[in-house]
Amino acid sequence: MVRTVLASGVFDLLHPGHVVYLSEAKRAGGKNARLIVVVARDATVRKVRNREPVFNEEARRILVESLKPVDEAILGSEPFSFEKIVRKVRPGIVAFGYDQENWMRDFLKAKKGMKWKTKAVKIREFRSSPIHSSSAAVQKILKKNAWRKTGR
């Protein structure tokens, strides 16, 4: 039996934490799991992160879909609705990252009235690399750029 796992995120500036998150999400589904990843729309990034994404939504979708654990990457709904995505994909598991508490609450609300069993799994934070978030990557780039400009 193939179990569908749903994961989601912005995935702007891919880093090792993203790869670990998606690998662990797929592993949570078992041997024959199918991982579908929802990539946030540009409008959602602007609203939630209060900034412009570095890469546009289609570029981020293509990058995510190219990762080994990912079977399919889709764009989120417009306007954003986690419930709509869950009902469309009908996953057996929804995997959340360590920093996605708000999506977990939305999922639990959406779960009411579902006619299939879906469980939520929280994926641990990956900190084996100094760059474990897109924000950390941006900060490092800005710091290196400032260093080049000042010569220090």
The better pLDDT of the pair 68, 141 is held by 68
What is residue 37's predicted lDDT score, i.e. its pLDDT? 98
Closest CA to 53 of 21, 20, 14: 14
pTM of the prediction?
0.85
Q: What is the pLDDT of residues 97-119, one digit of tens each?
A: 887 766 666 666 666 667 678 88
- The structural domains of the chain, ordered by start, are 4-127 (3.40.50.620)
**What are the start-end ranges of the E strands in the chain?**
4-9, 34-39, 72-75, 93-96, 119-122
> Is 80 exceeded by the pLDDT of residue 146?
no
What is residue 131's predicted lDDT score, i.e. its pLDDT? 65
What is residue 33's predicted lDDT score, i.e. its pLDDT? 97
